[in-house]
Chain A
């Protein structure tokens, strides 16, 4: 195995790590916000379940490795460029506390890098649209509708119950539903990196075309995403848990259950959707299901802009990285050094106003409405 292949695999695992801490919020933001789980317990639980989830399915990995770009016309250097674009976009949006899609970033980076290195004909646009873009657009809407209906019904039915029992019950239920989302996240997102590494191994002939990921790839991706998740992306957890709507336990349960159902069903059918967009859609739906005016629609607008920018921005960075790296070993080293410098700069900037497990819920919030209201 050549040095560049090893470098690509390590970079892919680094992306997987950033994907983990960027997306911890997807599973645990509402549970942390409602107090169903303590912040540190939540992220460790999410990490463990991400690891388990990584072993459940490889359908999405096959989509990534054989459905988006012509694997016969790209090289590991191209994949390296794409990954650099995805990692930098993930870190930037994490710094801003913006729950953008790691999947969009990955696909954007890969598409941009492939376009520069092998031309637009190397991109399987039909696969990109039908297997990636369409689900990415529709999934938050579907998740939002499902969560809205579930939340509305939960509140309607819960009015007949005793408030203490209802609140305690939903908090306990949230532990299960959040765990399901963490499991679903591991199943869906770890597979994307598995797909990228598998694609790399196919391009160098280490695996036959259309091969699935080997066990060591599945295990290493599971560990990387679990470690990232356990670190906890507190900035995004704060945004999803506290800045969209004042989430109560029935809403958290409905949102998480909806997210898990959409992600697992899609993963089973091989749709590489964005767990971030699904979970965000669910939280908005759950917010609207209780009280439409209780949702911060301005936050939704800013997220929508970030979502629209993610794919093209990661594509531009990926294309630039692939172009420089394609000039030779020196170019690849330049890309690696610049990427490390930028990542370090983003991390240093985050330390100026840190968000941690201790202050993640410290956001001024609207007066909560009783569960039975």
Chain B
């Protein structure tokens, strides 16, 4: 029996059972090494507490006191289609953190896109982790990423070959299913030179399930590539979603990231992008809708480490009931990153007296020839807008819905992919009707 190194940290049980996960024994020592390393890092970094600057507004104490176990089952007869975005695209299905090839549909994916998982590492007897594109990035200050590795059960490796321009988006459907289970989806994307693709991650749960999804995505975008990376987080109302996306962007590449958070009792989406070269266009945008007692955290970090790149960041959210939103956005400009063009805007609409937003924009600039601006607004629906709509015959509820939809629509319009824009716009409209405006027509 092992003595836990740090008995005060949560999820010891989870980590211990991940160490002894029999299903993994035939995968080889490399996986135990990753988990071992993840566990050590996690113990070193400690569990996020509100005393840590980047976790000041999101308290995980309650989550830490909740017991989760590893998923015993990753079989699911039927996908909860009603919770998944209806998009006509090749589909990668991940259940409780594990890739399910038999539920996926990769027939139209095209020869320039390769999808692998741990299963393939075993089959091909080669270590995908040796591929330089899939190197594990450093985890300083990121305990959640360390936990992801400590309980890792599978990972997706998506490679877009150099020069491949995909006509169709790729839909990754991540489903949580079970009662008080904890799992850690892991996604590696490598967009080769001058490649192009849109990837949509849909995070949802089987209705009635309660889980803790601790998801990490590592994105490598080579020179001249264009990656649209979109996420729809619609986990079940009792679940927790803690996610980290780390992107590394090279010369003249475009990274268009958008996160739409609507699900879960507690969610945090942390997007960190490192601009390593010039000519990069990096868009980190998002929309959120919080109702009842949801807590939705969007934390972003954009690092300009080279001259002449552009970043743009717009987040807009709607908070009703007792929902709480957090926005933390930092732009860091290195001394050598002259001619950086950075823009950041965070806006929140509060629909009730008890809804709350904590907003912390931060610029840290060490170059002198840069253009960086940021702004934040918090507001309510304006009486004069409502009256104008009502004076044209639109009832109060429908007027509110139209205005809220328009408010979110403005940020959804930031999405560069028309197909994804349309689907998220439709879904926002449906969700508003379902969650906020049940009684209104039209």
Q: Do A and B bind each other?
A: no
